[in-house]
Amino acid sequence: MIKQRAIFIIGLWVLLLPFLGFPIIWKKILFAGTGILLMGLAYLLYREKEDLLIRIFGGEREKNPAEMLGIDLKDSLQRIKRKKTAPPQTVDPSLDAQPEKIIEITERE
């Protein structure tokens, strides 16, 4: 939580920095330093997340989180492709723009 709070405070710093009256050269240096600080915090958050995933799933973290959860992506993708390529339901073209025929057919049934 400390890292997230630090990022919030740095965000406020970046918001206020242009209005604090520093000379241009100092602003450039302060913005560059702030950027380096943000990159370091982002890396620490990334490492923290990786360590947490290793602790949760045990051992070395695999590259694909879906495989760690037992989800077969190949099978899921094949099912999605089958749904997309399924032939559309055909409708009798003779019924287009002829509502009276539709009514007749439904009355017969």
pLDDT reported for residue 54: 79
Instruction: Give the residue among 41, 42, 18 at the shortest CA–CA distance from 31.
Output: 18
pLDDT in tens, 38-52: 999 999 998 888 888
pLDDT reported for residue 53: 78
What's the CA gap between 23 and 105, in Å, rounded? 84
Place of tokens 């993708």: 77
Which parts of the chain register pLDDT below 50? none
Q: What is the residue extent of each domain of the chain?
A: 2-85
pLDDT reported for residue 78: 72
pLDDT reported for residue 3: 85
pLDDT reported for residue 10: 92
pLDDT reported for residue 85: 60
What's the CA gap between 81 and 78, in Å, rounded? 5
pLDDT reported for residue 37: 93
pLDDT reported for residue 35: 94
